[in-house]
Amino acid sequence: MNEKIVILDFGSQYTQLIARRIREMHYYAEIYPYFTPFSEIQKMNPAGIILSGGPESVYADGSPKPDPEIFHSGLPLLGICYGLQLVAHYSGGKVDPSDHREYGKSHLEILLSDSPLFKGVKNMSVAWMSHGDKVTKLPDGFFPAGKTENSLYAAIANEEKKIYGVQFHPEVKHSEEGNTILGNFCSEVCAMQPRWTMSNFAEEKIAEIRKQVGSQRVLLGLSGGVDSTVTAKLLHDAIGEQLSCVYVDTGLMRKGETEAVIDRFQNQFHINLYVVYSQDRFLEALAGVTNPEEKRKIIGRLFLEEFKRKAEELGHHEFLAQGTLYTDVIESVSVKGPSETIKSHHNRVREVLDLIQAGRVIEPLRELFKDEVRDLGESLGLSRELLYRHPFPGPGLAIRIIGEVKKEYLAILRDADAILLDELKKSGTYAKVWQAFAVFLPVQSVGVMGDKRTYENVIALRMVESLDGMTADFAHVPFEILGNISTRIINEVKGINRVVYDISSKPPATIEWE
C-alpha cells in the first residue's frame, strides 16, 4: 500500500475514527504514534499526513510534539483540533487558553470557498468542537479559512505549502460536512485515487502470503469466530494444504459450537482442522475459582498448553498465524511512548513461537478494522450469517457464569443462551443488536411451578446496541419478545425459575458481566 495517509496519534479518543472515515471512502490510512520519526514516515511514501486531536496544550511542558521535519517535508498536511494548534505553533503562530471553551455543535462559516479542502462544503454546516485552547495569531503564509461564533480560526490554510488545520473534528458523525472535508484532503489536496477495496486487498494479501510462505507450513489457532474464520479462509485460498488449523474445545463454548466449527471447516471449506477435546481438564482447573481475572488466566494458560501439545504432534510449522486486528495493533502502542505493557495475547504468541520453534508470525488482518474484516469475508465468499455473528469472548461461557464454573451451570447456560438467540433470530431482532447473550446467576429465588414452590437460579439477559463496542446502550427489545424468551427459558431449562433483563449502559457498566 504505497498510496496512503499517515495519521499521527496525539491521544484523541477519535483518532481511530479518522482512519475509518478515510477508508470508508476507499482511500487507505494508517495510524502511528505521534513520536514516529519523519525518516520512518518518509519510507512509507505517504500521500499526506494528518495530525490527530489530543487532550494536551501545545504550550505546556511535556506536551506531545511530532518530529518538526514533517512541517518542512513538502507533504500535504492536515491538523485536526490539537493538530491545528501544532500547525500554528510550529509555523510561528500563537496558541493560548480560550476565554470561552467550545464543546459540541458549532456552525462553520467558510471563508475560503475556493480552497480545495472545502470544495462542495455547505456553508454554516454543523461542526463538532471539543477544545479549550485557540489560535490567537496566525503564522505567516496562513489565511483564515473558516470561523465559528467562538473561533476566529476554526480553519486555517497555507495553500502554497498545502498545509491546513481545522479546529473541529471532521471525523465524528456530528460534523455534517466532515466526510467531504476528509475526502477533499485525500482527493483534491493529496491527489489520491479511491482504490482501497476489499477485493483488491484480498488479491494483494493472497499474493503476499504466497510469496512469504513459499512451500512452508502455517499453523493457525482457531476459535471459530469471525476473525479467525476469515484468517483461515484467506490463508487457505493462498496456500491450501500448507495450512493447519487447531481448535481447542475448552468445554466453555455455546451449544453446538464445536460441531458447527467441524462441519464448516472440514466439510464446507475443506481445510485441515485438528480438534483438541479438553473439556475435563478446563473444568478441573476452574473448580472452586470465582475471581474473573483468575478464570481468564487459567483458561489462557491451559489453552496455550493444549495448543502447544497439538502443535508438537503435528510436527514443525515455519509460521504461526493469528487473527490480530488493527485495533489490537493500535492498542499495543501507547501515544505517550513505547508501551510498557504489551497485550497479553501478544505475550502468549511469543511463547507459542518459542514452543513450536517457528520464529515468524503471519497476521493477515492486522491492517483491518472489524467491519473491514466482515467486508473481506464477504469478498472471500463467506456467508453474512457467519460474518455478522455477535462477538463472543475468548474465555467463553466461563465469564458468563458468575462465580464458580460447574458442569451443570454450563449446561443450563448453554440451553438458555440458545433459546435467547433462537427467539431473536425468529423475530428478526438478532441483526438489530450489537451483542446478545445470557448470564447465569447462582442466586436462588423463590418461584412457583404447578402447585409447588421452587428455589432455583436466575438467568440475566444482556442485549446492547453499539457501533464499535466502546460505548453501548441496552437494546430496547419489545416486551413481547422478552416475554417469549423468558417463558421458554423457564419452561424448557431445568434449574431456572426467574429471568431478568439488564438495562445498564456502557459506561458505567461493561457489556460483559465479568
Which are the catalytic amino acids?
81, 169, 171
Q: What would the grid cell of residue 358 be?
A: 517457528
CA dist 296 → 133, 185, 345, 398, 399 (Å):
43, 44, 12, 8, 8
Task: Report CA-CA distances (Å) from 320 to 214, 217, 243, 259, 405.
Answer: 14, 9, 10, 25, 31
Q: How far apart are CA 186 and CA 77, in angstroms?
A: 10
Helix (H) or strand (E) holding 104: strand 94-110
**Phi and psi at residue 161, in whole multiples of 5°?**
-90, -5
Any residues with CB less than 8 A from the CB of 500 and at least 6 apart, and which? Answer: 458, 459, 460, 461
C-alpha cell of residue 208: 503476499
Establish whether the linkage from the previous residue to 507 is cis, with ω within 30° of 0: yes
Q: What distance in Å separates the CA atoms of residue 456 and residue 453, rounded to the nearest whole number?
A: 10
Name residue, grid cell 506531545.
64
Spell out the residues 6+ positions from residue 244 whose beta carbon is closer than 8 angstroms to its own. Answer: 217, 218, 219, 220, 272, 274, 314, 317
Grid coordinates of 499: 429471568
Give the whole-angstrom CA distance, residue 283 versus residue 250.
8
